[in-house]
Amino acid sequence: MPKIQIIERYYIRNLARQRLNSGYYTPEHTYHITGIKQLTKIHNNPARYNIAQFEKSVPKPEQAPDDIGREVAFAGRSNAGKSSALNRLTCQKSLARISKTPGRTQHLVFFRLDDERRLVDLPGYGFAKVPDKVKREWALSLEKYLQERQSLQGLILLMDVRHPLTDFDQKMLEWCLHSNMPVHILLTKADKLKRGAAQNTLLKVKRELAELANVSVQLFSSLKGTGLEEAQSVLDQWLDFPVK
């Protein structure tokens, strides 16, 4: 259940409405005027993710921030919905746009949550329009990052619910299994399928991966917010945020 937080009390209803309409509050939250006195906010996202800030964008894992604390990486072939998911999870409109600026599409992009925690946007290098040699170098580099990065706690792997388990996804899974890295799969754009069809895909993917240890799967929709809390609770666990 979303957390409902009363953010201000107004004794004049119109004043509450004026505030609301003036864009004074962030649009990512849902606000309600309840009764005649209260402006309440549906607190969709825990503050710990809202504060994500761009830290660094690097072409090579060796240039990553110091390997201390904890981080969670996000991967997905291009168009899987990775940027939308990152924005939704952090409740920011354009955080992940940074990763899409020209010249950075093949970078690892680090977002800082606090002194000890980071989210990392990995490039969907495998299918980028770059020469094979560059792709191979990238594959090696990414594999090295997944295998050697001490602070990396797990990988969020995003797949369009309509096209799960592509070659790219299989490769990422293989690397993670090799390095005993937990993987949590988001089957994105779940709103594009009817409820039954989305559930069927979820079951199918779960069945296909049943043999693999440390792999979990869920439905997700950045558009509708489906699965947001489930995904955040995986992040909470990996990033060692205190359980509420």
Binding residues for ligand GDP (CB under 6 A) = 76, 78-84, 188-189, 191-192, 221-223
User: Mapped to the 3 state alphabet, what secondary structure does 92-146 carry?
Assistant: CCCCCHHHHCCCCCCCEEEEEEECCEEEEECCCHHHCCCCHHHHHHHHHHHHHHH
Closest approach of ligand GDP to the CB of residue 192, in Å: 5
CB nearer ligand GDP, residue 122 or residue 181: 122
Closest approach of ligand GDP to the CB of residue 243, in Å: 27
Q: What are the φ and ψ backbone dihedral angles of 67, each rounded to 5 degrees?
A: -80, 65
Closest approach of ligand GDP to the CB of residue 124, in Å: 7
What count of residues does the chain have? 244
Closest approach of ligand GDP to the CB of residue 23, in Å: 23
DSSP assignment string, 186-218: EEE-GGGS-HHHHHHHHHHHHHHTTT-TTEEEE
Q: What span, in angstroms and rounded, lies between the C-alpha atoms of 198 and 161?
A: 7
Closest approach of ligand GDP to the CB of residue 202, in Å: 15
Q: What span, in angstroms and rounded, lies between the C-alpha atoms of 3 and 48?
A: 14
CB nearer ligand GDP, residue 16 or residue 228: 228
CB nearer ligand GDP, residue 39 or residue 202: 202
CB nearer ligand GDP, residue 165 or residue 223: 223
Q: What span, in angstroms and rounded, lies between the C-alpha atoms of 99 and 110?
A: 9
Q: What span, in angstroms and rounded, lies between the C-alpha atoms of 38 and 178?
A: 54
CB nearer ligand GDP, residue 38 or residue 84: 84
Contact 206, 174 (CB under 8 A): no
CB nearer ligand GDP, residue 80 or residue 120: 80
Give residue for tokens 């950075």: 104
Closest approach of ligand GDP to the CB of residue 226, in Å: 8
